[in-house]
Amino acid sequence: METINSRLINWASILDDKTREQALATSRLPFIYPHLALMPDAHLGKGATVGSVIPTLGAIMPAAVGVDIGCGMIAVRTQYSLKELPRDRRRLREDIERVIPLSAGHNNRKVLATAEPRVAELGRLAAKAGFDPGQYVAKWELQLGSLGSGNHFIEVCVDETDAVWLFLHSGSRGVGNKIAQHHIGVAQRFSREKRITLPDPDLASLEEGTPEFTRYIKELRWAQHFALLNREEMMDRVITQFGTWVGGRVHESERINCHHNFTAQETHYGKSVWVSRKGAIKAEAGDPGLIPGSMGTASYVVEGLGNPVSLNSSPHGAGREYSRNAARKTFTLAELKEAMHGIEFRATEAFIDEIPAAYKPIDQVMRDSADLVKVRHKLRQLVNVKGD
């Protein structure tokens, strides 16, 4: 841990100058209390740094929550061991790809029976919140149970005991993005009208007590719940395909589902604050959590240590060292295939920007997190599914 100043505490041993300056700029905003906590996976983001924990008094910056509201991880530990798995892992990958829409803009053709109760629940929540998600995306219901692209993934992994885990990463899809973009625009218009000077327009905020703030919180919470149910729906489909592949039912011994792009009202240092975790998970003492590496590297099942200086938080993954554009210019498909040796995946140039070398070494991130979380399991991948 490094105290950069009284308003910025840093856990990242790998931190470039631009990311440090971006975090410093955010930490100087007058409503930050008590300080911004920079996680080990911190890297440059839009407005606010990805991998930062931002506590605010009486205000929230929508862009500091992120445009993929509620993005996070879900993992299930099965009763199966590595030696019980069939050899043909490609068949499982293709079966998963068949039942879950992948890539940006790809949705379900219809609401499946498994998704119906979740869609109904979200409909009731939206009505209670007094808004129609259809004003953002006309057929938002068809997005429930779809993965998206970028760093979102579905994986089959084994831990140090060779127990098999099913693991995936996704968020609130297009409807969450549209909600976020709308409220970022509202915050920016508010800042312009009030002639508020900001180091970055994406640090514009909404003031607690205003109708705009109240509406954002209601829609934010809905999108966070959409993201959680989206992961549950996809995991249920993965379990079905995995069970068919192994020829037996799957009995879950554990299921963990956690956000890493979200806002919650919490008490820290004696005051009630809005804590925006942009690329960070909540890690109160005993909280189960998931910290994935990049495709081809280890992921971790963890337990929070409740570090008060970190605002009870921990990293959400490896964190990028190369931007997507820089990664595409630097690495090759051959290098990606070499990095993914022994893992069943769809080998395509579309995933070059996700190559492990574009990310910080996950084991270094975990060493930096030693006072934030306790490692319960280390996972290695057998199958990787992504959207291009």
**Residues 18, 13, 51, 296: is their CA dihedral positive or negative?**
positive
- Structure tokens that stand for 322 in this block: 């190369």
**Residues 230, 339, 315, 82: is their CA dihedral positive or negative?**
positive
User: Residue 300 in 3-state DSSP?
Assistant: strand
DSSP 253: S
* DSSP alpha helix (H) spans, the chain: 17-27, 62-65, 89-99, 116-129, 173-193, 211-246, 324-330, 333-339, 362-368
Q: How many helices (H) does the chain have, and how many strands (E)?
A: 9, 17
Report d(CA 65, CA 54) in Å as an integer: 9
Torsion, Cα of 265, 267, 268, 273 (10° steps): 40
DSSP 309: T
Report d(CA 155, CA 113) in Å as an integer: 24
The catalytic position among 35, 260, 316, 377 is 316
Cis omega (within 30 of 0) for bond into 101:
no
Report d(CA 363, CA 369) in Å as an integer: 10
Contacts of 245 (CB under 8 A, 6+ apart): 86, 91, 92, 95
201 phi/psi in degrees, rounded to 5? -55, -25
Angle at 47 between CA 46 and CA 50, to 5 degrees: 60
* 183 flagged as catalytic: no
User: Residue 224 in 3-state DSSP?
Assistant: helix
Report d(CA 136, CA 185) in Å as an integer: 14
User: Residue 376 in 3-state DSSP?
Assistant: strand
Report d(CA 62, CA 187) in Å as an integer: 8
- Which residues are identified as catalytic? 316
